[in-house]
Amino acid sequence: MNDVARAAQVSQTTVSFVLNERAGANIAQDTRERIWAAVTELGYRPNAMARSLRRGTSSLAGFVTDEIVTTPFAGQIARGAQDVAWKYRRILTLVNTNHQSALQQEALDTLLQHQVDAFILATMSHKAITLPAVLQGLPVVLVNAYTPDGSAPAVVPDEQRGGYEATRHLIEHGHRRIGLIDNLDASIAAPLRIAGYQAALREAGIEPDPHLLLRINGWQEAGYAGAIQLLRRPDRPTALFCLNDRCAMGAMAAAEALGLKVPADVSVVGFDDQDVIAAHLRPSLTTMRLPHYEMGCWGAEALFAGGLPPPGSTRLHCPLVRRHSVAAPAG
């Protein structure tokens, strides 16, 4: 700082006031310009830690997640949050806790010690979480998660509308016997997607057939087993709605094993729009896209734009991605 003061021909106090944007400092504009020119010429970097300690805050924000930064499609949440944070000249410090509560507590304590003053808590799957006690009273936004008491601003996918629109898409192609394969176990998403599926059927005057709704644990193998069971029925469905893309991949393999073609003999719709799966199946998979990037953007915008939104959940639309796995039923 002494070198900057000497180059700009001002006192160190004046330099400090300018660099720290001291409110009320009566410093002429030409003096400010000389100081910043000296900073640029000398390559001066203020001590961010010392400045944070003086201010009691920092330009850092915590982004704490259970595992999304290790997954290819949900990692879009982090990307969206970072893009918006940079717009506000805030830096996100990402911590992946791998579902370890002790690690989460340690991470939060460390971030707070470094004057991190705002937090995004994000989860891999749509779930209810308890807000850590150490964050009570601080600016916190939840992404892909919510608190049961609605005490924190949160953004989640509109799972029920997604299930409705997936089913409606099949109905609009003429399908009336639509099987559903649920392999999401005890997730929050599954019953909401199923509720949307049932609402779309009833709206079209079709009473949901409980025999066409299967719940099987697993991923691709569940989709395969479920589709084999449904497509071997004498009154087999002409379309399948699978509650995620991995399940849909298994269902498409089952159709091929039975000598059926997708979509000529059976249409298939997934959910998630996983980049590594949906676009690369043959035929490519029509699916509902989870708005991971948009949720990340929403969370950071809510945190940094000034004034948190009211507590409670905001639901974001899951858009339909039309590809080549849906057609009108044969015959």
> What does the pLDDT look like over 107-146, one tens digit per residue?
899 898 888 889 999 999 999 999 999 998 899 999 999 9
Write the DSSP assignment of 284-318 as a string of letters: PPEEEEP-HHHHHHHHHHHHHSSSPPPSEEEEEP-
Say if 60-157+292-316 and 159-290 have the same CATH topology. yes
Spell out a b/e string for 122-143, using b for 16 or more CB atoms within 10 Å of the CB, else e. bbbbbeebebbeebeeebbbbb
Average pLDDT over the chain reads: 89
> What does the pLDDT look like over 169-206, one tens digit per residue?
999 999 999 999 998 767 899 999 999 999 999 999 99
Using alpha carbons, select from 33, 30, 31, 29 the residue that is nearest to residue 14: 31
Angstrom distances, CA of residue 119 to CA of 10, 134, 256, 308? 39, 11, 47, 12
161 touches 195 (CB < 8 A): no
What confidence score (pLDDT) does residue 47 get? 53
What confidence score (pLDDT) does residue 36 get? 81
Residue 278 belongs to what H/E stretch?
Answer: none
What confidence score (pLDDT) does residue 115 get? 82
Tell me the pLDDT band of 64, cut-offs 50, 70 and 90: very high
Structure tokens that stand for 211 in this block: 């025999």
Please tell us whether the domain made up of 60-157+292-316 is placed in CATH 3.40.50.450.
Answer: no
| Rounded mean pLDDT, 9-24 | 74
Domain ranges of the chain: 2-46, 60-157+292-316, 159-290
63 touches 78 (CB < 8 A): yes
CA 38 to chain centre: 43
Using alpha carbons, select from 219, 212, 259, 216 the residue that is nearest to residue 238: 212
Please tell us whether the domain made up of 2-46 is placed in CATH 1.10.260.40.
Answer: yes
pTM of the complete model: 0.82
Q: Which CATH number fits domain 159-290: 3.40.50.2300, 1.25.10.10, 3.40.50.300, 3.90.550.50?
A: 3.40.50.2300
